[in-house]
């Protein structure tokens, strides 16, 4: 297959048999990792708007998905005493960060966060998932009820340049 045929498959209607636009977009996705180095000091300890990344590009970047891997002790699910792990974005103009991607440690959301098992962050808010140039991405861990200890963890976020 010649180069022009390959480009036609990637950019035109011919890519539909290979997964179409979604597959093409994934070719240009990139990831960022954030490692939470220490477990929470106690079940009620929170993390509020911890800056983990700034969009350095001259285009918008969309937060597409994310995963969390607990390192060491896991987290048992609980319907009343749990944590909500969120990634928030701002508008690069000192706005209040808005929740873009999250998961809770409840039985119906994450289930257990078992040690060294990757879990998909399940709730994406598309309206807050776009970072304009210079916008920031934050980690937030809120506790509900008596809370739970979130252990050391690795967060991997998938982003996509737009435009």
Predicted confidence at residue 57, as pLDDT, reads 95
List per-block mean pLDDT (blocks of 10 residues) for the chain, which spans 163 residues. Answer: 57 59 76 96 95 96 96 92 96 91 92 92 93 97 96 96 84
Predicted confidence at residue 71, as pLDDT, reads 95
Domain ranges of the chain: 32-162
Predicted confidence at residue 1, as pLDDT, reads 47
Exposed/middle/buried for residue 18 (C-beta within 10 Å: 0-12, 13-18, 19+): exposed
Predicted confidence at residue 58, as pLDDT, reads 94
Q: Where are the alpha helices (DSSP H) in the chain?
A: 3-11, 20-27
Q: Does domain 32-162 have CATH number 2.60.120?
A: yes
């Amino acid at each position: 297959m010649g180069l022009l045929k390959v480009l036609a498959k990637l950019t035109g209607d011919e890519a539909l048999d290979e997964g179409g636009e979604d597959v093409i977009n994934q070719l240009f996705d990139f990831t960022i990792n954030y490692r939470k180095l220490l477990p929470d000091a106690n079940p009620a300890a929170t993390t509020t708007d911890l800056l983990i990344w700034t969009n350095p590009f001259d285009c918008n970047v969309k937060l597409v998905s994310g995963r969390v891997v607990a390192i060491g002790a896991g987290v048992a699910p609980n319907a009343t005493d749990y944590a909500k792990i969120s990634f928030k974005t701002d508008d690069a103009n000192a706005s209040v960060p808005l929740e873009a991607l999250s998961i809770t440690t409840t039985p119906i959301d994450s289930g257990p966060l078992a040690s060294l098992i990757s879990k998909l962050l399940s709730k994406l808010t598309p309206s807050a998932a776009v970072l304009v140039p210079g916008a920031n991405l934050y980690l937030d861990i809120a506790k509900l009820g008596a809370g739970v200890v979130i252990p050391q963890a690795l967060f991997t976020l998938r982003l996509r340049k737009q435009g």
